[in-house]
A = this chain, B = another copy of it.
Amino acid sequence: MISRRMQKMVAANSVIRAMFEEGLKLAKEYGRENVYDFSLGNPNVPAPEALKKAAIKILQEEDPVKVHGYMPNAGFPTVREKIALSINKRFATDFSASNIIMTVGAAGGLNIALKALLNPGDEVITFAPFFGEYKNYVANFDGELVVVPPNTETFQPDLSAFRELIRPQTKAVIINSPNNPTGVVYSEETIKRLSAILEDKQKEFATSIYLISDEPYRELVYGGATVPYLTKYYRNTLVGYSYSKSLSIPGERLGYVVVPSEVDDFEQLFQAMTVANRILGFVNSPSLMQLAVAECLEEKTDIAYYDRNRETLYLGLTKLGFSCVKPEGAFYLFMKTPIEDDSAFSQAAKKFNILVVPGSAFGCPGFVRIAYCVAYETIVNSLPKFAELAKLYEL
């Protein structure tokens, strides 16, 4: 009785979410400390104290009619202005409130961008491995997700394959660096080459191809890695950002999209995305959180915490004979499975109460994603279990 489209989507329901809900069940059964749930990007680092203080101050001192009321669908102009200035300061850009749309997380931002851009049959390119939801977001608007096959040695994007896949119906390209699920950061050199290819193809086809940079993990980088700000390399760039990971508030649904004034059809696109924010039912991103986060733009999450997790996990797993590219960003580690069948491996891991997500969910079988945004103890205590798992495969 449910719609045919949703039948497909329910059947292919997020493996990640299924794992997360299974993790909650296992925790009830075995006790939370005996379950090693690496399934979901749900930060274990608490939100900064400053955010709590800002939210309480606003609740205590400001007019509730304003704090909890409607504002323009793109968000509070004052909040958007503060965010624009903060981006300008960090990346020497030149944005103002009129370039920022507050969104219901990065997921909301991607959806309003795609609704504004896609005609049925339009193509959106992304690079495997990729966040599986991209497929659903593009399908929401009857577009086709075209996937560039992974380079499983480095997990840097395969730009030659990319070039071949761009066609006149290519409306957008989604990139995600630091990357979910690999933790790889795309180098400036890569960004320059990717931009040049897009410029070429725009000319060749006389089209506009929008580069959508999905950046929820921008702040999470280790060992001095830097993440280029893409609007400075390619004119038709939209930046989707989220505070879910940078301030550890994924449940609050707060993010924004940057629409630079120089993108093709700027005014029309900005308005269409704002209207899409309303029409898709978001209406606006949550008001109190908009105001609170605007007071915490200089706050940072506890990078050292994730970094320790990363080092301990990477060292632990490689010592056991597992292999993976060392992540430079985000809080994921993408591990090669000792057998080809990544789903079978995940099932085997679950017998040790270890929950990981098969790479197939990211368009990259033969790997599993391990989200290490967990308690340090979870990592330490999981290693003996991983050792038992390694034995199973005679590593």
* Interface set of A (CB-CB < 8 Å, partner B): 1-7, 9-10, 13-14, 17, 20-21, 24, 40, 42-47, 52, 55-56, 59-60, 63-65, 67-73, 104-105, 107-112, 115-119, 122, 133, 136-137, 140-141, 208, 248-253, 264-265, 268-269, 271-272, 275-276, 278-289
CB pair A6 B276 closer than 8 Å: yes
Main secondary structure of the interface of A (DSSP, over half): helix
Q: How far is the CB of A228 from chain B (nearest CB, A)?
A: 26
Number of chain copies forming the complex: 2
Q: How far is the CB of A253 from chain B (nearest CB, A)?
A: 5
A133: chain B residues within 8 A (beta carbon): 278-279
CB pair B253 A283 closer than 8 Å: yes
**Contacts known (A59-B52, A248-B65, A286-B252); A116 close to B40, Cβ less than 8 A:** no
Pick from A7, A9, A21, A40 the residue with the most CB of B within 10 Å: A9
CB pair B14 A278 closer than 8 Å: yes
- Could you jot down 19 A-B contacts, CB within 8 Å? A7-B272, A9-B275, A13-B271, A14-B275, A42-B70, A44-B65, A45-B65, A52-B59, A52-B64, A56-B60, A68-B251, A69-B248, A69-B250, A133-B279, A250-B283, A251-B288, A252-B288, A253-B284, A288-B289
Which chain B residue has the least Cβ–Cβ distance from A243? B68
**Contacts known (A56-B60, A60-B56); A281 close to B2, Cβ less than 8 A:** no
**Contacts known (A2-B265, A271-B10); A104 close to B282, Cβ less than 8 A:** yes
Which chain B residue has the least Cβ–Cβ distance from A41? B70
